[in-house]
Chain A
Amino acid sequence: MAEGTRTVLDMRGIEKRFGDVKALDNVGFDLIAGEIHALLGVNGAGKSTLIKILSGVYTKDEGRITIGGKVFDLGSPRAAIEAGIAVVQQHPELVGDLSGAENIFLGHESSRRGLFSRIDRSDLATRANALLARFPIDVDLSRRVADMPAVDREIVAILHALRLENARILILDEPTSTLTEREKASLFSMMRMLKAAGIAIIYITHRLEEVYEIADRFTVFRGGRNVACHTVTEARTTGMSIPNLMLGTGGGLTFPPRCSRINGDAVLEVSGLSCDGMFRDVTFTARKGEILGIFGLVGSGVDELSKALFGVFRPDRGEMRLHGRPVSLRSPAQALRSGIFLVPGDRRTEGLTLNENVIFNTTVANLGRASFGGLLRFGANRRNARALAEKVDLQPMRLDRSLRGFSGGNQQKVVIAKGLYRQAKVYIFVEPTVGVDIGARSKIYALMREISQDAAVIVISSDCDEVHGVADRTLALYKGAPVGGADRDMSRDHLLHAGIMGGIAA
């Protein structure tokens, strides 16, 4: 093809089968130089299979991949890199003790001759500066990566992927999932700069508002097929519903109806709770029959607050009352005994035993109930796990499968199943839908509403729309301090303003 064509990537008729399952079915996908192209779809729609084929992790069964006018086979990660494809994983692996520049050129350090010669640091700096000249970004690459904020680590990972001259396609897999709003803004400005430098970006995200904010075009995958490809302008003017495209049904992301009966019994009363350096003077009442929402960005103290309510941290001041009785929690075990259950913000490290199956995970949540005279009740535990899995709509319904084999949304459903097995009186959900696809999200919100019929539910999140959409009453936490009383219902904009600026907008 002639130079001057702006298409950098053209994939046609791509097929990929895993056993009997067609993960990709005659899929086409194209990318134009200097565009940001959002790749959307619920988990299992085929977008990660496509990305893995592009990055050489999987080999395609059928189809043709043309990059810059040349046909490539992409049989291995190395072949993909040589073809100019740069991938940034969802959780990039960086060496915390090395500087940003050292991480970028890791394994490609230039050294003076000889096996034991020292790494040539001045050359490293020169190359890092050359890279920054190509992609002018405000980042200090001489800092240790461990000391960097999350967004700088992401930038280091992106520069690492783009360190080779020939890189022209950049794949970003949910880079914003751990970033604050402000960090997200600086990541987006970097993406715009890369775009101006002619890099084509494939951007995978679960957050649709980001598509409107940053992308030029988007492609929607559903059931292993490419079902739609539009420009964002098109989507805006026609008012098409991306959730509908993703789900293929009439329903998009729907929040369950709010509760009609407010002022149920007060279950958890918190007054003046403070943890030095984390949060201060938090006061609220969580009632049975309703959902209390707390909005706070990463670093606002919300995660620490959730852990203080669960006995992980001991508060320095303040009081907690459960059903009117003061409680002082010293451990999660004691919180659980008192009837408080935490759906933690990081389900992989805090919520689940990933190498074990569904039965084990639910059983462990309440070993007292799962055993008789100290011995496990195997039959009853399997029956209970099945009932819980049906209740949370686990997909697929495979009780003997290790949790690693489930999508993020279904792993989260297992955490909720653990909570149901506990039969708690207070449920605290932290970031309940991070990395959860839109189909599972609606189900999780519905479950939260259902749980609130018999218990107090608190949802803590850095997603303002989530807090506003699902909760009956809301408050925000800004730099550790609460903004707005929980007894009034803030509008979405008020809540957003409170959490981001620390004040109630006029």
Chain B
Amino acid sequence: MITRQLGMRLLAFAALVALIGLAFWSQSAAFASGGNLRSLMRHMSVQGLAALGLTFVIVVRHFDLSFPGVASMGAMTLGWLIAAGMPLPVAIGGGLAVGLAFGLVNGFAIARLGLPDIVTTIATGGLAIGFSYFYSNGTSISQNFFMSGILDLNDRKILGLDMPFAILMGTALMGAILLHASRLGAGFYATGENPVSARFSGVPTRLLIVLAFALSGMMACLAITLLVASSGAANVTAGNQLLMPAFAAVYLGAALFGRPSIGATLAGTLLMSMMLNGFTLLAIPYYYSDAIVSTVLITAIAIFDPRVSALLRGAVRRKGASA
């Protein structure tokens, strides 16, 4: 019965992909071109990594609004280290360390000190944006980029896949093992569903909340590393475009598959990226596509909310009964 339900959900997802795909393809044949599909996957890689990190925070029923700011600071740290002539692994590690540090601060403030998550992460995110201006007074950094090899992260291929997409898939695989096949994963879900009963069962709930925020910060910085690699410069506003698509992807996936999970987030990211890519292709101004993404987000939240979905089911049932 469970597998049948999953089958139905997969079918609904495939139908949505087909619907959106056909809609854009009918408007512009270029949508299905190899070049465009590759750029879609590249876009999906950046958004997907940020959304994957956020998934852990949503599973433990918290919110992280800091990751776009943290990602900007990660980008500037990465750019500054490259410009300073550091070897690439050190520079990337430095960027990820920013995400880790902010994630730990968020987690400590929320899980240990009990501060409210939304306000805390807005504040730490703002702090990170402030710090990201320190390196260059806000101008973008691109010195040494050609020599450093960072561009290879965008341009090279691995196993026939574009590097960014390969990184997304590899990270998703590790994330899936962590969240769905490890003892920590069961702890994440137990913490989110009922923190008291989780604690009474011996689950280290606070540690897991800290870990979730740390993963969110680090993955946002990994996402921004790919973005920096593709644009060839580090920018103080780099992270701004991550917030809404990441939330929309997590909630859309959760609405489609019944709960937040790695697979659900990937599915949500694919749908979001298809839409954003399609709008770009049709030359629809970005502010309209922002509005559409926001609409998708609020719809997904409504469907994911158990009360609203019960209401929808009830309406459908009543309609069916009266027919």
Question: Within the assembled complex, what's the spacing in Å between the Cα atoms of A310 and B197?
Answer: 13
Contact A418 to B201, CB < 8 A, known contacts A355-B193, A356-B189, A376-B182: yes
A360-375 contact mask (Cβ, 8 Å, vs B): 1 or 0: 1001111110110011
Given A337-B202, A365-B202, also A353-B194 (CB < 8 A) = yes
Among listed A88-96, A252-260, A344-352, A450-458, interface-contacting one: A344-352
Smallest beta-carbon distance B188→chain A, Å: 11
Those of B190-231 within 8 Å (CB) of chain A: 190, 193-194, 196-204
Is B2 in contact with A375, judged by CB distance below 8 angstroms? no
Asked whether any CB of chain A lies closer than 8 Å to the CB of B181, the reply is yes
Which residues on A sit within 8 Å (CB–CB) of B193? 353-356
Which of B181, B189, B190, B202 sits near A336, CB closer than 8 Å?
B202
A376 / chain B contacts, CB cutoff of 8 Å: 181-183, 185-186
Complex interface: chain B residues within 8 A of A344 (CB): 200
Chain A residues near B184: list those with CB within 8 A: 374
B177 at the interface (CB under 8 A from A): yes
Q: Which residues of B contact A367 (CB under 8 A)?
A: 183, 186-187, 202-203
CB contacts between A and B, total, < 8 Å: 77
In the bound complex, residues from chain B placing their C-beta under 8 Å from that of A375 are 177, 181-183
B202 touches A360 (CB 8 A): no
Contacts of A350 on B, CB cut-off 8 Å?
196-197, 200
- Please determine whether A364 and B200 come into contact, CB atoms closer than 8 angstroms: no
Q: How far is the CA of A356 from the CA of B203 in the complex (A)?
A: 15
Tell yes or no: A342 within 8 A of B by CB. Answer: yes
- Give the residues in chain A near B2, CB-CB below 8 Å: 400
Which residue from chain A places its CB closest to the CB of B185 in the assembled complex?
A376
- Which residues does chain B contribute within 8 Å of A355, judged by CB atoms? 193
Taking CB atoms and an 8 Å cut-off, the chain A residues in 36-57 that contact chain B are none
How far apart are the CA atoms of A354 and B186 in the complex, in Å?
A: 14
Least CB distance, A428 to chain B, in whole angstroms: 11
Q: A249-306: which residues lie under 8 A (CB-CB) from chain B?
A: none
Rounded to whole angstroms, the CA-CA distance of A312 and B202 in the bound complex is: 11
A contacts with B, residue count (CB < 8 A): 32
CB-defined contacts of B181 to chain A, threshold 8 Å: 375-376, 378
Choose from B1, B183, B194, B199 the contact partner of A368 (Cβ within 8 Å): B183
Tell me how far the C-beta of B2 lies from the nearest C-beta in chain A, rounded to whole angstroms. 6
| B182 & A333 in contact (Cβ 8 Å cutoff) | no
The answer to whether A364 touches B187 (Cβ under 8 A) is yes
Q: Which residues of A contact B200 (CB under 8 A)?
A: 310, 312, 332, 342, 344, 350-351
Given A375-B183, A400-B2, do A349 and B197 touch, yes or no (CB 8 Å)? yes
Q: Please tell me if the beta carbons of A351 and B186 are within 8 angstroms of each other in the complex.
A: no
Residues of A near B187 (CB, < 8 A) are 364, 367
Chain A residues whose CB sits within 8 angstroms of the CB of B197 once the complex forms: 349-353
Q: Is the CB of A364 within 8 A of B190?
A: yes
A371 vs B187: C-alpha distance in the bound complex, in angstroms? Answer: 12
A-chain residues with CB within 8 Å of residue B186 when the two chains form the complex: 360, 363-364, 367, 370, 376
Q: Are A371 and B196 in contact (CB under 8 A)?
A: no
Task: Chain A residues near B202: list those with CB within 8 A.
Answer: 332-333, 336-337, 365-367
Q: Which residues of B contact A368 (CB under 8 A)?
A: 183
Partner of A353, one of B1, B177, B182, B198: B198
- A244 to B287: give the CA distance in the assembly, Å: 71
- Minimal beta-carbon separation of A421 from chain B (angstroms): 10
The docked-state distance in angstroms from the alpha carbon of A400 to that of B190 is 16
Distance in angstroms from B74 CB to nearest chain A CB is: 28
Residues of B within 8 A of A366 (CB): 202
Given contacts A310-B200, A332-B199, whether A353 and B190 have CB atoms under 8 Å apart is yes
B193 to chain A, nearest CB (A): 5
CA distance A205 to B2 in the complex (A): 35
Interface residues of A in 304-356 (CB under 8 A from B): 310, 312, 331-333, 336-337, 342, 344, 349-356
5 nearest A-B residue pairs (beta carbon): A371-B183, A367-B183, A336-B202, A353-B193, A333-B202
What is the interface of chain A, defined by CB distance below 8 A to chain B? 310, 312, 331-333, 336-337, 342, 344, 349-356, 360, 363-368, 370-371, 374-376, 378, 400, 418
14 A-B residue pairings within 8 Å (CB atoms): A333-B199, A333-B203, A344-B200, A349-B196, A350-B197, A351-B197, A351-B200, A360-B190, A364-B201, A367-B203, A368-B183, A371-B183, A374-B182, A378-B181
Task: Using A350-B200, A400-B2 as known contacts, list a sample of 8 further A-B pairs with CB atoms less than 8 Å apart, ordered by residue number in A.
Answer: A332-B199, A336-B202, A342-B200, A350-B196, A351-B197, A354-B194, A367-B187, A400-B1
